[in-house]
Amino acid sequence: DTAVSQTPKYLVTQMGNDKSIKCEQNLGHDTMYWYKQDSKKFLKIMFSYNNKELIINETVPNRFSPKSPDKAHLNLHINSLELGDSAVYFCASSQGGYSGNTIYFGEGSWLTVV
């Protein structure tokens, strides 16, 4: 019974395309996140939603647009993909927006832009 699930797990696409990654959590958490991990393993937060409200929006190109239809789902849409977007994208969730709470990660979506 996967707690945080995201799809697709692997995605290979060409430059300029638009793609989406979907995420769902069944932990009953009210905060969800998107993190990006580059080839050097650096894990950086992109967005955070608390009860469908955007609370953290890091310096991310506006080609990236998150959407949270409800507190159990957080999707990420990426327009006009570039080579530098190749990375692993992790969805995550926690109970509450307080940063002292444990973050639970999904399995990751490996995005390769060619």
Query: Which positions touch other proteins (CB under 8 A)?
Result: 35, 40-45, 48, 50, 55-56, 58, 90, 96-100, 102-108
Cis amide bond preceding 8, omega within 30? yes
- Distance of closest approach, residue 16 Cβ to other proteins, in angstroms: 28
- Distance of closest approach, residue 7 Cβ to other proteins, in angstroms: 14
- Distance of closest approach, residue 99 Cβ to other proteins, in angstroms: 3
- Asked whether 31 and 56 are in contact (CB, 8 A), the reply is no
CB atoms within 10 A of CB 102: 9
Residue 48 or 75: which CB sits closer to other proteins? 48
Residue 18 or 38: which CB sits closer to other proteins? 38
Residue 22 or 108: which CB sits closer to other proteins? 108
Instruction: For residue 90, give the nearest of 104, 72, 69, 73 by alpha carbon.
Output: 104
Residue 33 or 85: which CB sits closer to other proteins? 33
Instruction: For residue 22, give the nearest of 62, 83, 70, 55 by alpha carbon.
Output: 70
Instruction: For residue 78, give the nearest of 45, 113, 30, 26 by alpha carbon.
Output: 113
- Distance of closest approach, residue 41 Cβ to other proteins, in angstroms: 5
